[in-house]
Amino acid sequence: MKIEILKEIIKKKSSDEQFAVLTNLSNGSSEIYKIGIPLSNNFINYKNDIENYYNLKKSGVINNTEILIQNYIKPIEVIIIGAVHITQYLIKFLKDLNFDVTVVDPREYFTTKQKFRNVKIINKWPEEFFKNIQTNSNTALITLSHDPKIDEPALKHALKKKFFYIGALGSKKTHNNRCKRLKDEGFNDKEIDSIHGPIGIKLGGKSAPEIALSIVAQLVSETNKYKNL
């Protein structure tokens, strides 16, 4: 592999950009690939197979070819709204599973360094936070603040941007009231039904770590469904 290719791989990995590296095992040539980038003569005959593997996020030698594809997949970004007790356990689980985690909470007294280490903490209101970042369907949202003024602007953004996972903490009554307010804001039933609320799978636990585990289990399940679309 040429040094120029290695330098480009390092550059793209540091920016969390999704891409693939193609290698023609018959002659050793390599190049970086993304959807929309023209393929060289070494790979053009395998365009459909390469696109298929790339879209499926699969790595390996393409069947019946000498073409090796190595996918470098951008980590799933999880945005947590609310720096509450459950959040501390969530962060540990999510970090161990290689998710990219950001915690957003305008209440600075909730986000002490002693509680939240090695994680991005944003002390802004969700509306302000989302104005300054790019988000898409490769993002998950977990709202935990229990304050509609904090949680619901984030939920509205996630619905509009079609986040692949949206979960909101709260009782059935709380969630029903939340859904009514979202409907009044113009969201349809299909959009509202995409919110996992009450959040998490039913494990029966009530402690903070048990609730965090139920949320992570649901998120992992939905992530695997999303990756296999």
pLDDT tens readout for residues 65-93: 999 999 887 788 999 999 999 999 999 99
Give the CATH number of domain 77-227; options: 3.40.50.970, 3.30.2420.10, 3.40.50.720, 3.40.50.300: 3.40.50.720
* pLDDT value of residue 60: 92
* pLDDT value of residue 111: 77
Burial of 14 (0-12, 13-18, 19+ CB in 10 A): exposed
In angstroms, the CA 193 to CA 135 distance is: 21
* pLDDT value of residue 25: 93
Which residue, 194, 191, 190, 212, is CA-closest to 203? 212
- Distance linking the first and last C-alpha atoms of the chain: 32
Q: How far is CA 222 from the centre of its chain?
A: 11
* pLDDT tens readout for residues 35-53: 888 999 999 999 999 998 8
CATH 3.40.50.720 residue spans of the chain: 77-227
Which residue, 190, 192, 212, is CA-closest to 201? 212
pLDDT at 112 over 80: no
Work out the average pLDDT over 193-218: 95
pTM score, two decimals?
0.75
pLDDT at 21 over 70: yes
